[in-house]
């Protein structure tokens, strides 16, 4: 990488939604100097996304966020279909079939919990979000960028991340095409506390009743959420409730406390580029938007951050392989396209009530596209194991108690898994920790498996022939941090 001019920070993050907050938090974990700015007065208090999928739960374990979020949510891995007050079917096969996954479910929890925790962690680490402030200009220069802020400051940085939502200033400023398709669907969403004589269960329920399409989503604590397709921009709360009760008849639903009531029109778009000159990057809604179907928005945005930040961290601290920063777009754009297609198919399944099977069709598409819905089917290009997510294997005893792999992974470094006994471990650079797995039932038995900081496999080799691992690591320069051997 070319030498960089003096900078105020390493990374400027525009936008403090989940993607921007996670980028800033991961950057601090990596020891980067970060400035994050957002026009809002504070983190989200209610509404928006409602679930973390299995892959996100794995990622949260790597960066010490899981334990503070998981107790507040409600596990849910079952979907059912009801019609005219009659139970039709119940499904959870796509969760049960997951391999190398300890939490085989959604964690139903509001986006506000994620934002507030990340906001607190950033304040505690000395880089609070600069609220009431936005990025109003980005200029690239030799070795970095200059960001103009709404308060009049000019900030020099090595990188800029546009995490500023579907109407991203950064994306528009860089003139990156973002063609939005708007299917003619408008939905209402209601969060609150309900009174009902419906046999309430902690599962996702999809109703089919004539032309109304209603989904009932369990939420954390005492909350429930309803999504209701309205197909008109103007409607009242009473009209929404009429559709809910039409779907749940002969039972009835009443909200005793409404916490959030909103509407959204289905939009679909993927940016033509996710990066410019490997200096300015887009994450989350700034580079892909779609409907809420499948609960993929928040999860995809967080995965963007995990994919990008370790690469930026390595690039700041040492020479990196040609193409490492390019791989953010080449890895994440295909995922975004798959997520948008999944959302589109699910949306179409709610449009045609004539078959009287639209809810059943919807659940069938979830099963077919479960790799995206659970997040566990996402892999990046590569040969053999390369590109796969590493499985959450049992590690035997660690610090005197049984352990699994993911809580031992560290986002600040690569991890070399030595899956066998008695073999000499090759000397590793300082940015690699070494973990040994001696269980012969391990799916990687007999291998050296090099795991990237984002818990995808970089490469693998036979225990007695470490050359592929050593060749991969040789493409990186000397690390400035110390490795850890466990």
CB within 8 Å of 238: residues ≥ 6 apart = none
pLDDT of residue 216: 94
**For residue 275, which of 263, 265, 287 has the smallest C-alpha distance?**
287
Average pLDDT, the chain: 90
pLDDT tens-digit series, residues 181-195: 776 678 899 999 999
Whether 40 has a pLDDT exceeding 60, the answer reads yes
Q: Average pLDDT for residues 226-246, to the nearest whole number?
A: 92
Hey, which of 15-24, 315-324, 374-383 has the most confident mean pLDDT?
Answer: 15-24
pLDDT of residue 325: 97
Number of Cα atoms under 13 Å in the Cβ half of residue 267: 15
Instruction: Between 255 and 291, name the one with better pLDDT.
Output: 255
Instruction: Quote the tokens at residue 423.
Output: 């073999």
Q: Rounded CA gap, 336 and 246, in Å?
A: 35
pLDDT of residue 451: 98
What is residue 436's DSSP assignment? E
249: exposed, middle or buried (C-beta count within 10 Å: 0-12, 13-18, 19+)?
middle
Whether 29 has a pLDDT exceeding 90, the answer reads yes
Whether 357 has a pLDDT exceeding 70, the answer reads no
Instruction: Between 1 and 357, name the one with better pLDDT.
Output: 357
CB 91 within 8 A of CB 80: yes
**For residue 149, which of 162, 160, 133, 161 has the smallest C-alpha distance?**
133
pLDDT of residue 290: 86
Number of Cα atoms under 13 Å in the Cβ half of residue 50: 26
pLDDT of residue 402: 62
pLDDT of residue 209: 67
What is residue 181's DSSP assignment? B
**For residue 337, which of 386, 272, 244 has the smallest C-alpha distance?**
272
pLDDT of residue 191: 97
262 bridge partner residues: 189
CA angle 415, 421, 395 (to 5 degrees): 50
147 bridge partner residues: 138, 155
Whether 480 has a pLDDT exceeding 50, the answer reads no
pLDDT of residue 24: 98
pLDDT of residue 352: 56
Q: Rounded CA gap, 451 and 166, in Å?
A: 32
Task: Calculate what percentage of the chain has a pLDDT beyond 70.
Answer: 92
Q: Rounded CA gap, 368 and 377, in Å?
A: 11
Return the exposure string of 48-83: e unless at least 16 CB atoms fall within 10 Å of the residue's CB, then b. bbbbbbbbbbbbbbbbebbeebbeebbbbbbbbbbb
**For residue 291, which of 340, 332, 352 has the smallest C-alpha distance?**
340
Number of Cα atoms under 13 Å in the Cβ half of residue 122: 30
pLDDT of residue 338: 93
């Amino acid at each position: 990488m070319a030498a960089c001019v003096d900078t105020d920070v390493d990374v400027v993050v525009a936008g403090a939604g989940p993607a921007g907050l996670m980028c800033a938090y991961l950057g601090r974990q990596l020891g980067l100097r970060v400035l994050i700015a957002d026009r809002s007065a504070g983190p989200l208090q209610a509404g928006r996304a409602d679930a973390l999928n299995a892959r996100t739960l794995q990622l949260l374990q790597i960066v010490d966020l899981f334990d503070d979020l998981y107790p507040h949510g409600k596990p849910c891995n079952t979907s059912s279909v009801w019609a005219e007050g009659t139970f039709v079917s119940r499904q959870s096969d796509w969760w049960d079939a997951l391999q190398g996954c300890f939490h085989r479910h959604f964690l139903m929890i509001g986006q506000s919990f994620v934002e507030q925790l990340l906001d607190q962690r950033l304040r505690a680490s000395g880089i609070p979000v600069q609220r009431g402030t936005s990025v109003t200009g980005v200029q690239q220069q030799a070795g970095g960028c200059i960001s103009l802020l709404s308060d009049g400051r000019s900030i020099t940085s090595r990188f800029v991340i546009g995490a500023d939502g579907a109407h991203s200033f950064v994306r528009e400023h860089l003139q990156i095409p973002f063609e939005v398709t708007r299917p003619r669907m408008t939905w209402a969403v209601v969060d609150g506390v309900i009174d009902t004589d419906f046999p309430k269960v902690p599962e996702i329920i999809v109703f089919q009743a004539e032309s109304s399409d209603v989904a009932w989503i369990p939420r954390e604590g005492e909350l429930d959420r309803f999504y209701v397709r309205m197909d008109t921009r103007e409607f009242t709360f009473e009209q929404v409730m009429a559709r809910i009760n039409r779907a749940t008849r002969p039972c009835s639903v009443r909200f005793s406390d409404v916490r959030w009531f909103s509407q959204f029109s289905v939009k679909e778009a993927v940016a033509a580029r996710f990066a410019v000159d490997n200096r300015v990057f887009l994450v989350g809604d700034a580079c892909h938007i779609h409907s809420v179907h499948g609960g993929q928005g928040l999860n995809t945005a967080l995965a963007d951050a995990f994919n990008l930040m370790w690469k930026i961290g390595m690039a700041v601290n040492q020479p990196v392989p040609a193409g490492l920063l390019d791989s953010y777009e080449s890895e994440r754009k295909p995922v975004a396209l798959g997520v948008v297609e999944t959302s589109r198919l699910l949306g179409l399944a709610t449009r045609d009530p004539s078959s009287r099977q639209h809810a059943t069709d919807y659940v069938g598409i979830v099963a077919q596209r479960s790799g995206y819905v659970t997040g566990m089917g996402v892999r990046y290009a590569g040969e053999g194991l390369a590109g796969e997510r590493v499985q959450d294997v049992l590690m035997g005893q660690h610090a005197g108690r049984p352990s699994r792999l993911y809580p031992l992974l560290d986002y600040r470094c690569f991890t070399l898994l030595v899956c066998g006994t008695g073999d000499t471990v090759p000397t590793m650079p300082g940015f690699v920790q070494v973990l040994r797995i001696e269980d012969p039932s391990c799916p990687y038995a007999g291998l050296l498996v090099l795991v990237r900081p984002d818990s995808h496999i970089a490469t693998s080799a036979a225990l007695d022939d470490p050359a592929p691992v050593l060749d991969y690591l040789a493409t990186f320069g000397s690390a400035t941090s110390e490795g850890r051997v466990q």
